[in-house]
A and B are shown apart, each in its own frame.
Chain A
Amino acid sequence: MKREDIRVAILRIEGTNCEEETFRAFARLGVNPEYVHLKQLLGMDCRKNERRDIFDFHCLVIPGGFSAGDYVRAGTIFAARIKSKLSKELKEFVIQEYPIMGICNGFQVLIELGLLPGIDEIISDYPKACLMTNDSNRFECRPTYLKCENRGKCVFTRKIKKGEIRLFPSAHAEGRLVLLFGKEKEMLKKMEENDQIVFRYVDPDGNYAGYPWNPNGSVDNIAGICNHIGNVFGIMPHPERVFYGYQHPDWTRHGYREFGDGRDIFESVVDYLVRKL
């Protein structure tokens, strides 16, 4: 399929607020992104021409933000609203291997939805992991280094070699990945086997390190994961905030370059869709 025919839904509700930079990242790559309010998928308060269906799109992205204020656990309300009506379609969407990405708050939503970690199922009835309050008990806005751990399963990182280190900024208060109590080891092992670990936090030299390089205390330094099929991807740091070179925090030290470390995430999924469709 031609790039301009690929339709990407940038899903939002009240409190979603990284939609513009996410939209721009896709638009810049020549595909056709569209802001879609959840109510347009649910058919609430919208006119006929505003009504949308999940299958109008080839890719679904849940951007960062504080959906519904995140006054309950982050992402819970957004997830509950999706799940109450769209569970079936969503499951079908994943089975048909259309890609879904959640960044930051979007990752939190995917976990709460049960789409992630998705170790041996498409969507679980209840969340099997959680993104908990950072160890520092504070909102942390800081640059973080991520090491790509994926051997090729995740459709969002195929343009990034395993072992490569990228700088994506973090900005969250709830990003510490926690797995089911008592089953952590087993789950981690399966995720490793399934090639579901996508990124881990490292220091600038590439070593697994503690705070502040791991800004939240996430288990096994995990920053991003995908489901067992590789088409549902969640990540805490923000690749869309380093799409361009000048968005990097230290670009004045290294000279100007056009594109930043995050572009390959978007390029990977667009490339996947071009081939798939």
Chain B
Amino acid sequence: MIERLLIRKNLPFQLYEVNLKEAGEEDLLNISINLGLSLSLDEMKKIKDYFMDKGRNPTDVELQALGQAWSEHCCYKSSKVPLKMYLFDVAKDRIVTREDAGVMEFDENHYYVVALESHNHPSAIEPYGGASTGIGGVVRDVICMGAQPIALIDPLFFGPLDCKYEDLPKGVKHPRYLFKGVVDGIRDYGNRIGIPTLCGQVFFHEKYIGNCLVNVGCIGIMKKRNLVHSMISKPGDILVYVGGRTGRDGIHGVTFASAELTEESEEKSRSAVQIGDPIMKEPLMHATLECVEKGLLEGLKDFGGGGLSCVCGELAYNAGVGVEVNLDKIPLKEIDMAPWEIWISESQERMMFVVDKKNLEEVLHICKKWDVLAVPIGKAIGEKVIRVFYRGFKVLELDVDFQVAGPVYDSCKRPHIPRRTEEKEEDFPMPNLERAFLKVVSSPNVSSREWIIRQYDHEVRGCTVIKPLQGIVGRESHGDAAVIKPLENSFKGIAVTADVNPNFLDKNPYWGACSAVDEVCRNLVAVGAKPDSIADCLNFGNPERSRVMGDFYEVCRGLSYMARSLNIPFISGNVSFYNECNGIAVPPTPQLTAIGLIPDIRKCVTVDFKKEGNPIYLVGETKRELGGSEYYRLLKLEGGIVPRSNPNLLKRYMDAMLKAIWKGCIGACHDLSEGGLAVCIAEMAIGGWVGADVDIGNFSNGLREDFKLFSESNTRWLVEVKEEKEKEFERLMKEKKLKFYRVGTVTGERLIVRNGRKELIDLDVDRIDKAWRRTIWNAMG
């Protein structure tokens, strides 16, 4: 159809002129489809106007470059407006900079750096490669600020592991296969590059069957003076291509990420998945950081979505200059690649150094020492133009501003209708509590994650001071957050947690988003860390649907409300749309990875019960908020109110809790989340391998027993207070006028829960341990 518009140039290599001059509207759309540009008609028209102004037709290289730069994934065209409106300005003055990764102050001489990304579509097609290159990409984001990566984070979302094969849509892989492939990929890549995988989350839900979510995060630490920006410093600077070779793997990755998955995705988009090479990455990391430490780099950028094209465009755009690049210099995996393929390939393990001429020799020597390829490929020029040459011919010439700025969609272009949520708690007969308890404890979303965590090296680098699994060795339970001590000569620590409850968001995006912020803050406080910043990965369905866009706005509004009141900035993240398969979108999933700081890691607290005789306190208020709860899900109840949150109240609770922890009043602490109070006590008992005697009679009077046990109300912790510090603890809570209840004691080998004299649960801790620990092992082997 469009062949007549493609004019092959008479050159010794493949280059087409695309005849936009004679292309009608239908042709424009067909060009976009056939060249895999994923651009809309409006965008194609804009491009046509641009070239008509210049009085010539574009080359295929130019069209491909624009397709990459203007894709949803690269320029955030659907989300820019709401993100600006709600998130970008929250606690902005606390952020040092927000580029490929977010940078925050750690102490007087150091910054910490955070990057969080999604790698959903590649992982749905090829889980092993998709997940490992996801890690590779996010690690490069951190390195390219000049920071040493110190921790990896991997929040994952899959369909139920026991999903029947008949229920899988055509072309979709089984959740068990995806889960295993993703964990293998993260393990093999993360372990090999020697960065500990510190925390994550795994969530199972029917709506992830067709489109699993694989989010990946990385944290780094750096000296303040080593901060490098993603920009050129001046005309004349040399662009040095460093790392792996360029191949045909990972072509059209970003446009693939910006469209829905279909049953043909496997066939059509396999080439969009890149291939990772951790043993290229490891020395690349060393070489880059050595150059940074020696002050040899003017600018630094990693190759992400859009390949060379986006890297050159952004380096130039951020500095208000242009670049000239010679494609002949690019090291290739296959020599017969067309210029457009070289220009947009997303092959992994590549970085771009911006180097002043006088430092070039030293930079090349360092790379050579590490056996890392390094080749000067072009230079910065004063004119704001990108020019690309191949075998002596100019194959691309674009104005930097036109390519990089991209079209921004304002709210009228992407209609958004918030959904109406009607929530009601309905009455139903109370089931047997002991049985319900065991069922909740062993449900896939609650049960032990040991199967995954033990496959990741979470201790390499020797900085992990609070591990993801906590408790008696061999009996460990889940921690709320992990803590690293990044500097040899300082006891200051960084706590990390990753959370979101998609069940809440599926019912109520606004309060679900608020709950996610509440939960990550609770998690950090539970180990003794003060929440400092949040990275957000916003995973949604197709933004061209007003409902999806409506959810997106609601989520942003919720995140903004909470974070603004708490003065916590969003320092990194990405937006991943089109997470749909056959018309079923994933639940709105704003995955949050939060960072907390703790002045002295020796004050940290873990979840496991420590000592018999210590009193147990419930801090916070328990309400009838069971919408989206694990309890209702297992009872197959649809209704219920999604938990609310009040950031000002949360702040008061956090302050008091941190004071109590830092003063050494607390033996163990755990936040209440999925499965509520019941799961919380169980996990604390399992980790300490000791029982507890708990009476739920003295709080939330009038609330039914099962609601007290399984409600997932926000802003609550269960705390083991040291016997001798009871008075001090109570005084601290009273001072702030907070709700707290002494509910029991750490004792014996059984977990006993009663309501006054009425016994509700009486189980051996070993029995609970077995129910909790085996679920994923049994499913995965």
Contacts and interface: CB of A to CB of B under 8 A. Distances in A.
Interface of A: 14-18, 20-21, 24, 37, 39, 45-47, 50, 64-66, 68-71, 138-143, 145, 167, 169, 171, 203-204, 212-213, 238, 240-241, 243, 246-247, 249-253, 256
B194 A249 contact: no
A167 B601 contact: no
B369 A39 contact: yes
A24 B462 contact: yes
Interface residues of B, number: 45
14 contacts: A14-B279, A17-B193, A24-B488, A66-B192, A70-B192, A141-B459, A143-B474, A171-B460, A212-B474, A241-B460, A246-B601, A247-B459, A249-B476, A252-B604
Contacts of B370: 14, 37
Q: Is the interface of B mostly helix, strand, loop or mixed?
A: loop
Contacts of B610: 252-253
Given A240-B462, A249-B467, 20 more contacts: A14-B282, A14-B370, A15-B283, A17-B461, A18-B460, A18-B461, A20-B461, A66-B192, A69-B278, A70-B192, A138-B454, A139-B187, A139-B454, A140-B455, A213-B474, A247-B459, A247-B465, A251-B465, A252-B605, A252-B610
B368 interface: yes
A125 to B, nearest CB: 28
A37 B286 CA distance: 12
A243 B462 contact: yes
B608 interface: yes
A17 B370 CA distance: 14
Nearest to B280: A14
A247 B187 contact: no
A141 B601 contact: no
Residue among B370, B458, B473, B602 facing the most chain A CB atoms (10 A cut-off): B473
A143 B457 CA distance: 11
A16 B285 CA distance: 12
Contacts of B241: none
A139 B472 contact: no
B282 A252 contact: no
Contacts of A70: 192
B691 interface: no
Given A17-B282, A68-B279, A246-B602, A141 B455 contact: yes
Contacts of A145: 473
B456 interface: yes
Q: Is the interface of A mostly helix, strand, loop or mixed?
A: mixed
Contact of A250 (B365, B455, B462, B472): B472
Interface of B: 187, 191-194, 278-279, 282-283, 365, 368-371, 453-467, 469-474, 476, 485, 488, 601-602, 604-606, 608, 610
Contacts of A238: 459, 462
Nearest to A203: B474
Contact of A141 (B194, B368, B457, B466): B457
Contact of A69 (B192, B455, B466): B192
B486 to A, nearest CB: 11
Nearest to B453: A141
Contacts of A46: 369
B279 A64 contact: no
Of all A-B residue pairs in the complex, the 5 with the closest CB atoms, nearest first, are A17-B194, A21-B462, A69-B279, A14-B283, A66-B192
B282 A64 contact: no
A204 B279 contact: no
A255 B93 CA distance: 38
B62 to A, nearest CB: 38
Contacts of B473: 143, 145, 167, 204, 249-250
B780 to A, nearest CB: 10
Contacts of A249: 467, 469-470, 473, 476
